[in-house]
Amino acid sequence: MRKNVSNAGEGCSCKAVFSLEKPFKGDVFFYYGLKNFHQNLRRYMDSRDDGQMVGRKTNLKNPSSYCSPFIRDQNGLPIAPCGAVANSIFNDTFTLFHHDSSGKSFKVPLLRRGITWYTDKNVKFRNPKVDNLTLAQVFQGTVKPLYWQRPVYELDQADPTNNGFINDDLIVWMREAAFPNFKKLYGVLYRADEHFTQGLPAGSYSIEINYNFPVQHFRGRKEVVLTTLTWFGGQNHFLPIAYLVTSSLILLIAVTLTVVWWKFGKNGKNMEE
C-alpha cells in the first residue's frame, strides 16, 4: 500500500507481539531503527536549509537552492521545511502495551518530549516569530513536504507547543546518522505510572504500529529497540570494538619500538659514524 504515494492518507497498521524474559529495571528507552538508509550521503545531507530551520522568515518563503528539488511544489509555493532530509522523515508511530498474567492490558506510557539534544532544541531549531499570529498563520503561504501527511505546524496534534521546527521528532530526524544502520530515540518510559515505577516488568507485550514509512525502495529494514542504561552508559558495539582494535595496534607498535630501541638504540651504537 505504501509504495503508492497516493495512498499516503490511508491508514495502514500492524501488530507485533513479543515477551520479556527478564524485567527491564530503571529507565527504559524506546528507539526505532533503520537499516540500509544512507543519511550520510553528501547530497542528501546538504539538502536542507538551516536558516529556515532556525526561524528566519526570509528563508521560510525563499528556501535555499540546496533544498532542490524539494524546494517548491508544482504550484511554485515554498516547502517548509524544505529539502530531502525533512521530506524523508520517519513517520511510523508506535503504541506499546503490557499484558499481565491475569489478561489485563496496560498501555505503556512514553515521554515523547525532551528526547533531543539541548543545543538542537534551543539553538539550532527555532520557529519564526509568532507575534500576535498563530503558528498556522506564520506558515501561511508555504506547503508541507511532498511525503508528509500533515503540515509542520500540526505535527503534534496532542501538544500545540511541540509543533513547527521545534517538534522533537523532527529535530531527532534532522540530526543525520553517520552510518547506514542506525537507531533514533522515539520515547522514554514514563515511570510515574504506578505499573511501571520500577521499569518494564517481565511478561508479554505487543506493539501497535501505524505503518507509514516504506522501506522496500531501498531494500531497507525497520526495527524497534528497547534498552536500559548502566553505570557505563548505553549499549554500543561499535565504540568498544573500535577502541579495542585501536588500543591493540598502539600496544603492538609500542612493544615493537621498545624492542628495537632496546636492541639497537639503547647505547647509541648505531649513531656513531
Query: Which triple of cell numbers denotes residue 242?
Result: 573500535
Higher-pLDDT residue of 132 and 37 is: 37
Per-residue pLDDT reduced to its tens digit, 186-227: 999 999 988 999 999 999 999 999 988 888 888 999 999 999
Helix (H, G, I), strand (E, B) or coil at 246: helix
The bridge status of strand 199-200 relative to strand 24-25 is antiparallel
How would residue 49 be classed by pLDDT, with cut points 50, 70 and 90? very high
Cα(239)–Cα(257) distance, rounded to whole angstroms?
Answer: 27
Please check the confidence at residue 72 and state whether its pLDDT lies above 70: yes
83 alpha carbon, distance to own chain's centre: 17
The full DSSP string for 163-190 is -GGG-HHHHHHHS--SSSSEEEEEEEE-
Preceding amide of 201 cis, omega within 30: no
The bridge status of strand 221-228 relative to strand 28-35 is antiparallel
Higher-pLDDT residue of 90 and 261 is: 90
Per-residue pLDDT reduced to its tens digit, 234-273: 666 777 889 999 999 999 999 999 998 888 776 655 555 5
Per-residue pLDDT reduced to its tens digit, 119-136: 999 899 999 998 888 999
**Bridge partners, residue 121, by sequence:** none
Each domain of the chain, given as residue ranges in start order, spans: 5-234, 241-265
Q: Which of 189, 180, 265 is nearest to 221 (CA)?
A: 180
Predicted pLDDT of residue 101? 84
Share of the chain above pLDDT 70, in %: 93
Predicted pLDDT of residue 37? 96
